[in-house]
Amino acid sequence: MPIPEQPVWHHANQYGENSACRHCQGIISHEPWCITSNDTVRYAFQVLLRPTLLSLQDSLVLHALGVAWEGNKR
């Protein structure tokens, strides 16, 4: 019995013009200065570097999601 021929799938690039960052135009990676252009992204990076900057509200949300605090507890 002959094996049916399978269609050939080609990789389609899922990124396009609409995927580009509106600040630095990066698609896969961003320019180093880009994190300072968006307040939300800047806050996330600051919290990553200094967890004491995490707001009480964000701390409660993360706790409700099951985040386990280590070291300096919030």
Tell me the per-residue pLDDT of 36-55, one tens digit each, with 9 for 90 and over. Answer: 777 888 888 888 888 889 99
Alpha carbons 40 and 65: distance in angstroms, whole number: 20
In residues, how long is the chain? 74
Contact 62, 73 (CB under 8 A): no
Contact 19, 27 (CB under 8 A): yes
Alpha carbons 21 and 71: distance in angstroms, whole number: 35
57 has pLDDT over 90: yes
- Report pLDDT for 55: 92
Q: What is the pTM of this model?
A: 0.49
- Report pLDDT for 8: 55
